[in-house]
Amino acid sequence: MELDAWLAVLVISISAAFAISGKYQKSKFIHYAFKPLTMIMVISLAWERVTILPSVYGYLILSGLCLSLVGDVFLMLPAKYFRPGLLAFLAAQALYILAFGRGLKAFALFPFLVILGYTGLVFLFLYRSLGKYRWPVLGYILAISGMAWLAVSRHLGLLDQSSLLAMVGALLFLFSDSVNAVNRFKKPFWLAQILILGTYFAAQLLFALSI
């Protein structure tokens, strides 16, 4: 990466650290300020890269990042906005699926089974705790599982840096949402926000860098 890209990564990482630390403070002002700010900077990085080298892949990723920001804002609001937030992230996953599936010529079976097994176990673990969100969460799990699988399949087919960044980002995103679901629906735990937000911001940053 060029120096300006490294500087962007550094600034985004610092902003992400503030967003995470703000989640552990009694006043959530820092979290509310820096979580969307971090995503805005990730979006700006993606925009810069896609304007330099325009591509359908780049615009799909950029659109997915924008919808993720919308989802972030909804999820920072009271619990009644959880469903719109989930729908925004579902739409983002659909765009990421289109990006990673574009031009794909082969699908990797073993990663599909591993990802499906992992997400299936997470869903079964949460099943009794999901209540009215059971089926929306299942739909989202299927979408993010498909996104991660296509990202892995794409990298195995291309074996280049861009697809590697996207694959690592997709797997981090899958892990982040798994921990988030356990923390939200099963049992909150102290390290959750570090794991959730740390891997979430890293995933979105890697998506932007994959353009």
pLDDT in tens, 51-62: 999 999 999 999
Residues of the chain under the 70 pLDDT cut? 1
The answer for residues whose C-beta is within 8 angstroms of residue 7's C-beta and 6 or more apart is none
pLDDT at 78: 87
Phi and psi, residue 102, nearest 5°: -65, 120
CA distance from start to end of the chain: 12
Predicted local confidence at residue 207, as pLDDT: 98
The confidence score (pLDDT) of residue 126 equals 96
Give DSSP secondary structure letters for 182-199: IIIII---TTHHHHHHHH
84 C-beta neighbours (distance < 10 Å), count: 15
Q: What is the pLDDT of residue 141?
A: 96
> Which burial class, exposed, middle or buried, applies to 112 when counting CB atoms under 10 A from its CB (0-12, 13-18, 19+)?
middle
Residue 103, pLDDT score? 87
Confidence at residue 1, expressed as pLDDT on a 0 to 100 scale: 66
What is the reported pLDDT for 64?
A: 98
Burial label for 36, CB within 10 Å (0-12, 13-18, 19+), is middle
- What is the largest distance, in Å, between two alpha-carbon atoms of the chain? 50
pLDDT, position 2: 75
The pLDDT of residue 25? 92
User: Could you tell me the pTM of the whole model?
Assistant: 0.96
Helix locations, the chain, DSSP H: 3-23, 29-52, 56-76, 82-101, 109-130, 134-158, 161-181, 192-209
Alpha carbons 107 and 154: distance in angstroms, whole number:
8
So what's the pLDDT on residue 134?
94
